[in-house]
Structure 1
């Protein structure tokens, strides 16, 4: 099979994507207001589509975090005292506000992250639905029925907020991952200090600006800065009751270790290396089309992306042909180049070099690029959508997360071997199984050690069902009623009514 020519980068009007007056304030948001004056330190926010500096934002440290925690702690009693209905009404108002300003949020997310407009639009639409679902679900908690489980003693279960929550959000989905945390945290009656990635803070700041008049001061606080300063302080502060992170396995270990010093609760959604098991009876065309989206959505910068194909050897050649055909049609470009752009740049120069290094090491270990396999020449951090075939079991390409537009392909002969190899990674976030066999569609997912297993689809999410992983992918659940459970606590009250 010959490698197709590398795609060209479609260029557009990056400078005109977001007007200067549409940018949010570029400072910390603490106790209901943005900080004023020149910050003591700043960080550059880079446009990944061309490498130019967009803006400079404040860079905080432990002092700003402590002020935000104090504001959240002061706001907690009044916020937790609201009824679920009252908090839900405010969350629905936030959803309305996001929807009213969807256009600027989409363009700002696309500009800051280099995302195609269709990806950014999906993020904003999903953020609205997350707030609306969580608002309704928070009014419908169910607990063990009040009853006498011991003679003459009536027990009842109360559900309470945890307290002050520190939320640390990644760069790949700054708005949506922020909302996945904020909605259940606030709905359960907690107050929050959120740290967006220093690389992608703009939509988090814009959200704070948009809801500034809706939430009481101190309920929502945003502190900008690096994980080594801001994230570390959120993790080890004795006044933070729970810390929630979406990020890398390395970052998860650091947060959990720091949080352990104060024995606070930890909620971790970490990396993934999602296996895609394609059996010989699968609809190969549907699988290839599914991987076109699931493997390359958001340029593969997606922890649940379908990045590791395990395909039965009898259909491997045909499947690779179909996948390459699908991948060859992806439109690569800047977000300002039009609504039909499907694949944008990677987030930063360092990540760009990491992904290219992953591809080169895979080639050195025997893999072949059926398509892509290199950078695309020109400004910005563009890597060609890549399919690596001939990947050998146990190699880095088979086990580690590239977090870019790279799908690896391995072959198997026996079902048991496919299951064993799929599970033989440190991650346990997501997987998919492709088969027409109804018995296999039930039995194989039960044997896969992943928090979500799709059958004949991949990367399909809904707010009603939980998202989270096992093993190195962390613990805790985003979305669904399970997220509300994670950000609340139960209290048993027992009353002696003997007479």
Structure 2
């Protein structure tokens, strides 16, 4: 058995008993295991070992050896690394249906979403950075202002600790892994407790692609493991996606250590629906921008800013959009809205709905009750008459809950959009392209879409204010995994 996994033929429960460290499956330091459950049913669907500090030490040591190897990954020509990334992309493609199924089973992402994101984006990002690594020079000669010439040399940072969340586990892993590998770094990946079976599948793909030992090491989850990696003396950079609260802690620790860090954190983005917007023609795009992955999306435009002249129309549009969405098992291809990732997260989302009602917002549709007997479901919920200063308009709910806020004129819409501690995503909806760009440029956010929202591999992605620091994707994402070394000639 090469992948350390087996399935119970009577229940299809997956059992993993090893960790992928230093290019092989290793028994963990502890005999403890973690049970993985289905968000749609609440039933156990797998077991994986718990990672300990000892396992983390082994993973970091393996990554350090691979990085320090004088003929190893960091010294390979970019073209040689690019070929390896292409092989890994091919192996992921060969597993895409199973990857989508595992992710959807665990976190509730509708299969129609996971097959297009979790199963496709990782290979796409790998291929993008494989090409970019070959095209971008690692050295540049600059004529000096004071005479002479400077040679600017780009080198990999070293060992990267990639700490990733459960909502888009594979997509967000490769936002980090692809540029880090393309630059010549080695990586230790620490997933979330809620999504572990997909990382076992990723380990199998890494092994099959022939990635050198120690270049990619994959832990499971363990108590305090993320914090342990952040402060580990063998780690050269931390790349984290998750909550703003945890991001602040990581930033503080990284600051003490003077260790580079990239943080992609929470959001409370606004959809600015201008008075000439065509709602019906953009219905699918509006759903994706605000309710993709059951609202468990950091960039989701969950504050809907509607002009007073069309307020009732916008409210009715979103009511119809929510009530027309199929709520069901995440693995059902017909499902639009699946369950929340866990019972505790469902309860958190429900508490926000109850708070919105208590604070006087108008409940248009949905609400805290779900008529489903099993699983962690929340009905898509629309609030009208929402004050932008209210809790449901200011705090990240991370569920299928939208707040519709009225405004008068573009300037007020921009002001309301910017009245938030977050600044990750956002959208502008209008039939006037010049007006759209003018408005979009005034919204204080790292990214914003016009009549749609979808991050592009070639453009930098990340947030401002409490939504993070640093950028992923694009050439800028590659640069975040490189040192600049100036040689004065």
- Aligned residue in 1 for 2:211: 215
How far 1:20 sits from its partner (Å)? 7.2
Q: Which residue of 1 aligns with 2:361?
A: 367
1:399-438 to 2 correspondence within 5 Å?
A: 399-438=394-433
When structure 1 is superposed on structure 2, of 38-47 and 53-62 the one drifting more is: 38-47
Query: Helix, strand or coil for the counterpart of 2:115?
Result: helix
Paired residues of 1:307 and 1:406 also in contact (CA < 8 A): yes
Deviates further, 288-297 or 468-477: 288-297
Of 192, 198, 208, which aligns to 2:193?
Answer: 198
1:368-387 alignment, distance < 5 Å = 368-377=362-371, 378-387=373-382
Tell me if structure 2 keeps the 8 A contact 1:25–1:34.
no
1:153 aligns with 2:148: yes
Distance 1:152 1:24 in 2: 65
d(CA) in 1 for partners of 2:367 and 2:462?
Answer: 30
Correspondence for 1:3:
none
After superposition, residues 14-53 of structure 1 pair within 5 angstroms as 23=14, 25-36=16-27, 39-53=30-44
TM-score (norm 2): 0.93
The equivalent of 1:97 in structure 2 is 91
Q: How many residues are matched? A: 477
Question: Relative CO higher for 1 or 2, CA cutoff 8 Å, sep ≥ 6?
Answer: 1
Match of 2:51 in 1: 60
User: Retained in 2: the 8 A contact 1:60–1:224?
Assistant: yes
Say which is worse superposed, 116-125 or 159-168, in terms of deviation.
116-125
**What residue in structure 1 maps to residue 110 of structure 2?**
116
The counterpart of 2:256, out of the listed 252, 261, 286, is 261
Q: Which residue of 2 aligns with 1:342?
A: 336
* 1:69-468 to 2 correspondences below 5 Å: 69-77=60-68, 78-122=72-116, 123-142=118-137, 145-150=140-145, 153-213=148-208, 214-226=210-222, 229-336=224-331, 338-377=332-371, 378-457=373-452, 459-468=453-462
TM-score, normalising length: structure 1: 0.91
Counterpart Cα distance in 1 of 2:336 and 2:359 = 30
Unaligned runs of 5+ in 2: 1-6
SS class of match (1:428): coil
Q: Structure 2: how far apart are the matches of 1:464 and 1:480? A: 4
The 2-side partners of 1:48 and 1:315 are apart by: 38
TM-fit CA distance, 1:309: 0.5
- Is the contact made by 1:24 and 1:202 (CA closer than 8 Å) also made in structure 2? no
Gaps of 5+ in 1: 1-15
- Runs of 4+ residues deviating >4 angstroms: 16-24, 142-145
Would you say 1:473 and 2:476 are equivalent positions?
no
How far residue 290 of structure 1 moved from its aligned partner, in angstroms, is 2.6
Asked if the contact 1:423/1:449 (under 8 Å) is kept, the reply is yes
Give the 3 Å change call, closer, same or farther, for CA 375–83 of structure 1 in structure 2.
farther
Take 2:433 and 2:217, find their aligned partners in 1: how far apart are those partners? Answer: 49
